[in-house]
Structures are given as structure tokens and as C-alpha cells.
Amino acid sequence: MTKDTDTIHTIRWTDAGLELLDQRDLPREENYLLFADVTGVAGAIRDMVVRGAPAIGITAAYGLVLAARQHYAESPQDWRRRLDEDIGLLAAARPTAVNLVWALQRLQHRLAGITGDPAPVLLEEARAIHAEDIEANRRMGAHGAAVIDAGSSVLTYCNTGSLATGGYGTALGVIRSAWAAGKLQQVYASETRPWLQGARLTAWELVRDRIPVTLITDNAAGYLMQGRRVQWVITGADRVTANGDVINKIGTSSLAVNCRHYGVGFMVVAPCSTLDFSLDSGALVDIEQRADAEVLVLADRRIAAAGATAWNPAFDVTPAELVDCLVTEQGVIRAPDRAKLAVLEPGFGNSG
């Protein structure tokens, strides 16, 4: 049985501002940074202080509260125009994560009809988004764990735990629930270049929870599956399009292809807020391209030959036909496709 994983708090609201656990320093140090304005929050999202689609959405919601508080104090008659500008600033920080825009849209809807100070209303909504995410993660954990047979071992990719969400996690939430139910023998974590979220973050979370974790290099995953060492690969998602295509950390699609070849189950765990019904397929998603230095430099030291350049997409697209099951807070969808996603509860996701 695991301990209460909500002891890991990535995002903390205080009267002084928004505190974020700086994930760039993990696992060496646990440092919280305080952000008192929306510009700082947008920078924190862009610069990977906080990451993971649900956590990004929650952070952006609190960032908009900071903006509303500042603008109303400075100009009670002009706060709405200035707040619209800040919504654009936050939305552009990491646009591939659909939760970011989804959270901002929820707060925008609460602004309708407000004539006084908007900050208290927005704070109430931001806190609701935060709490709902934790509850949804626990439901997803139970749904996904029910699919896993006793005695299984699993591989997970990137980081999808308390650090990437409001708490408990998506894919890592399933792993936590399956471990608590006595179903898992072993968890493998792929290191996840170039930011090494698997090595630095997932392994850190699992060690804290006393769940056995073995780290592998990203390019060892196929051999791991060939040896029948894992029965499931479990990942999260930054976006799921209307046809069921999954946009997630670069390298996810390679795992899905290997899973299909070797007969390993491929499970995607994502809240309904990650569904984007405005896009017909993953081919229409604008994939974030990040700086060459993230690939060419490691721990402030250049590891590539001088003169080499890098191609550094942050995400890739896994075709829906390679997904064995999609787990949301509403349940498990086997072999997800357009028709199966369309029946999910109205109001979730980005309707365009």
C-alpha cells in the first residue's frame, strides 16, 4: 500500500502569490519559486519550471488570478481589456497542451457579468480546477488499474505523476493504484530525453512511494518488450484529437509501434480536459519545437560535436489505431475511435 501521494505538492496558492516546485532542480533539490505576476507564471510554464498538461492548465488558471488581482488594483475600470491580453500571453506559453487553453476558457466563462473585482471569482474557479483534477486522477487510477492483471510489470514514459498534475497523476496514478492493489511486480521508467523527466521525476516519485522502479534508456524499450518483461506501456497525453490520435512526449509513438509488434498493451491515461474535439486528427496539431541546446547540451556542458545542429520537437502523434485503451475519469475506452470519443459527457474538452 502506498502512502498518501498528495504529500507531493507541485502547485501551491498563497496570499503572496503562486508557489511552484521547480522541477528543473529535481531530484537534487526541492526548491519552490514564488510568482507574484502573470508574466512570471507564463515564463515558468515556458521554461519548464512546471510541466505536464494538467499541471500547466492549473498553473495558468492561478496565473490569471494574479493578473486579475493586479489589474483591478491598478485600474478598476480597465481590468477586462488588460486581462484579455494576459490570457493570450498564457495561452502562448506552451500551446500544444490543450489543458492550458481549456483552463483559461473556464475562467473566461466565469468573467461574464462581473463588474467588480474579478479576482475572488477567478480564484474560486482555479481552486475548483485544481481539486477536480486530483479527484479525476484518482478515478482514472482505479479505472486503469482494473484493466491490469495481477503479477504484471509495466513501462511508463516521461512523467505523469503528482508533478505533472494537481496530484496523484494520470498514467502514474494508474501505476500507484495498481501497486496499492497488489497487481504489479515491477515498474520500468524510460529516461525520456532530452529533459530526462523519467530519470529525474518519475523515478523520484516512485522511490518516494516505495514502488520498485528500474530505469532504462529510451532505446532499450523494444528489447524490454521483446523479452516479455512488461505487459503494458502506460503513458499520459497532452492532447487527444477527435479521432483518438494521441499527442504526447516525443518518443511515445515509437513505444506504441513496438507495443503492437511485440503484443504489449498500450494504455493512454488522460482527463477529459485533454480531449480536443476541434481538431479532426493529430496531423492538424502544431507541434512545439524547442531549442537546439536542449539536445546539444546536458547539465550545462555541450555533449555534441561543435558544428552539429539539432531537431527538437517536444511531442509526437500516436495514431489512434495503436492505442489499446484510453482511460479517462469517465472510464476505459477500448480501441478508441471517433465514435467512442463522441459519446463522452458533453462539455468536456475543447469544442472549438
Domain limits, the chain = 5-133, 141-342
Question: What tens digit of pLDDT does each residue of 70-102 get?
Answer: 999 998 888 988 899 999 999 999 987 788 999
Write phi, then psi, for 60 (nearest 5 degrees).
-60, -40
Helix (H) or strand (E) holding 101: helix 98-110
Contacts of 290 (CB under 8 A, 6+ apart): 312, 313, 314
Task: Give the per-residue pLDDT at 352.
Answer: 31
- Please check the confidence at residue 214 and state whether its pLDDT lies above 80: yes
* Residues β-bridged to residue 318: 246
Q: How far is CA 141 from the centre of its chain?
A: 15
pLDDT exceeds 70 at position 341 = yes
- 3-class secondary structure, 109: helix
Residues 116-124, mean pLDDT to the nearest whole number = 95
- The catalytic residue among 209, 238, 276, 316 is 238
SS (H, E, C) 275-310: EECCCCCHHHCCCCECCCHHHHEECCEECCCCCCCC
Once rounded to an integer, what is the mean pLDDT over residues 224-228? 98
Is residue 286 annotated as a catalytic residue, yes or no?
no
Structure confidence at residue 346 as a pLDDT band (50, 70, 90): low
Task: Give per-residue pLDDT as tens, 37-46.
Answer: 999 999 999 9
151 CB neighbour count, 10 Å cutoff = 10
How much is the pLDDT for 17?
96
CA pair distance 257, 282, nearest whole angstrom: 16
Which pLDDT score, from 0 to 100, does residue 343 have? Answer: 87
Q: Taking the model in full, what pTM does it have?
A: 0.89
What is the grid cell recorded at 211?
A: 514502488
Q: Is the pLDDT of residue 271 over 80?
A: yes
Q: Which amino acid would we find at residue 186?
A: Q
- Percent with pLDDT over 70 in the chain: 96
Quickly name the fold that domain 141-342 has: Rossmann fold (3.40.50)
Residue with cell 485544481: 130
The model's pLDDT over 158-206, given as tens digits with 9 standing for 90+, comes to 999 999 999 999 999 999 999 999 999 999 999 999 999 999 999 999 9
2.60.40.10, 1.20.120.420, 1.10.10.350, 3.40.50.2300: CATH of 5-133: 1.20.120.420
Query: What is the enclosing helix (H) or strand (E) of 58?
Result: helix 53-74
Res. 104 pLDDT band, cuts 50 70 90: very high
